[in-house]
Amino acid sequence: MRTLGMAVFKQQKVEDFYDIGDELGSGQFAIVKRCKEKSTGVEYAAKFIKKRQSRASRRGVRREEIEREVDILQELQHPNIITLHDVYENRTDVVLILELVSGGELFDFLAQKESLSEEEATEFIKQILNGVQYLHSKKIAHFDLKPENIMLLDNNVHLPRIKLIDFGLAHRIKDGVEFKNIFGTPEFVAPEIVNYEPLGLEADMWSIGVITYILLSGASPFLGDSKQETLANISAVNFEFDEEFFGSTSELAKCFIRQLLVKDTRKRLKIQDALNHPWIKAQMKVESQQLKTKRLKEYTIQSHSSMPPNNTYVNFERFASVLEDISLVEMGLENVAQKRESLQDDVEALLSIYCEKEAWYKEESESIRQELSQVRYEFRKAEVLRKGLQQDLRTTDASLARIDSRYLTREAHLSSLGQELNAELRWLQEVMGSLNGEAREPGVGIHLSSEQRGERGPEGAAEQGLWWRTMSSSTARHL
């Protein structure tokens, strides 16, 4: 048993609890049958939805779509919206036990009338708006509002109650979450669905505008000869109020439709604005001009005959899948483009850095080149100085050699003089010795100081030798 919010997918056989009756209607992957609850005898409608057995299959409805429909239905409690009573599941189907709506479609009911006043039309449109207001208050968009999904609870009363049915395409609109899809019935979808743009509650308001147009005229505003032409008319908002169809329609009614069939979702009437529109709120007089329903009857006959190829988004499913793939490819291309732009920015930044570095390196290189040139110049100067110093050293060495030679010569000469002095001293000593003997005689005496006796250095000795030679010469002359 699967629980989804308040709804329960019961795994028992639905036939054990309900007597299944005749078929009430069918769609692409669903069949609706009348049923009676065995325990209470109350009649319901059993909607058998065929489950898709595999992701690769195109037959049946995906499990998550059924769960979404049940999740939304179990939350809805409004007089103008069908109610969900129970849910069963077996191997092939999910069975929704729904409120029995036996009055048929609104348009079929109105087409049986000879004429329709705008007052009656606004009463039915107001009920549709009330149901949609309840949905929109819960941020739920129906996305498949069309005559086939506007049913009457009972058509045997003066003013039947409208019931909105079939929530298979309904979605919760979440703030800040972008939602896109291609679904709905081509004749009633909004331009944003055709153009695969973000969707919101506004899409339902467009569909109400189309429904109102058809209700008052029996003509469809955008229906073309082909699906492609219909979608092109919607995208271009190509419609007009043909006098043939709207000759008896009030300007207020046309204004109401115009304000709904607006391409810009921001300018399109919101649900509360639609409820407050003068055409909806005004009390029309009974004697107002009656609208013929002949064309509406023709429209309902034609729409029922074309229902199989034109009634559900399943006809769009493959196209939607292709668009989703295209969207993914576009997103991928956008990511690639963004990464390319980012890479381009990085390359430009690196190139800018390289250019700056290159200029800096050139400047540094030029500075270094100049410094190297200066160093080479200084080196050459130093080399010249070194060579000059070497030459000076050689010259100095030669001079020192000459000085050394002269010193040796002087030293030899001094030695020779020393020998001569010694000889002179010995001679002088001999002379003095002889003189000392004579000096002992009266009046004769010679006294020499230590310096005079040759106790000085070689120079003194040389001088003393010279002095002694002078003295000897003088003595010799006296002698």
Point out the catalytic residue in the list 108, 144, 166, 204. Answer: 144
Q: How confident is the model at residue 250 (pLDDT cuts 50, 70, 90)?
A: very high
Percent of the chain at pLDDT > 70 equals 82
Q: By percentage, how much of the chain surpasses pLDDT 90?
A: 44
Task: Enumerate the known binding-site residues for ATP.
Answer: 51
Angstrom distance (rounded) from CA 331 to CA 343: 18
Q: For residue 24, is pLDDT > 70? A: yes
> Is pLDDT larger for residue 33 or for residue 5?
33
| CATH of region 1-100 | 3.30.200.20
pLDDT digits (tens, 9 = 90+) for 288-318: 556 667 777 777 777 766 544 333 444 444 4
Q: Which pLDDT score, from 0 to 100, does residue 301 have? A: 78
> Residues at the annotated binding site?
51
Domain boundaries, the chain: 1-100, 102-311, 315-383
Of 25-29, 205-209, 449-453, which gets the smallest average pLDDT?
Answer: 449-453
Q: What is the pLDDT of residue 7?
A: 52
Q: What is the CATH number assigned to the segment(s) 102-311?
A: 1.10.510.10
Q: pLDDT band for position 221 (50/70/90)?
A: very high
Highest mean pLDDT among 144-148, 304-308, 410-414: 144-148
Distance CA 382, CA 380 (A): 5
**4 has pLDDT over 50:** no
Q: Is 144 a catalytic residue?
A: yes
**If you average pLDDT over every residue of the chain, what do you get?**
83
Residue 324 pLDDT > 80, yes or no? no
Model confidence at 157, in pLDDT bands (50, 70, 90)?
confident
Supply the pLDDT for residue 44: 96
What is the rounded average pLDDT of the residues 129-155? 95
Residue 7 in tokens: 């709804």
pLDDT of residue 240: 94
Lowest mean pLDDT among 192-201, 383-392, 432-441: 432-441
Which tokens in the block code for residue 122?
């606004």
139: pLDDT strictly greater than 70: yes
pTM, rounded to two decimals: 0.64
pLDDT of residue 373: 86
Stretch 242-247: mean pLDDT: 89
Given a cut of 50, is residue 343 above it in pLDDT?
Answer: yes
What does the pLDDT average to over 369-394?
A: 88
Residue 370 confidence class, pLDDT cut points 50, 70, 90: confident
Where residue 332 falls among pLDDT bands split at 50, 70, 90? confident
In the predicted model, what is the mean pLDDT of residues 368-391?
Answer: 87
Q: According to the model, what pLDDT value does residue 289 have? A: 59
Token pair belonging to 202: 């506004």
User: pLDDT tens, 426-474?
Assistant: 888 888 888 877 655 554 444 444 444 444 444 555 555 554 455 555 4
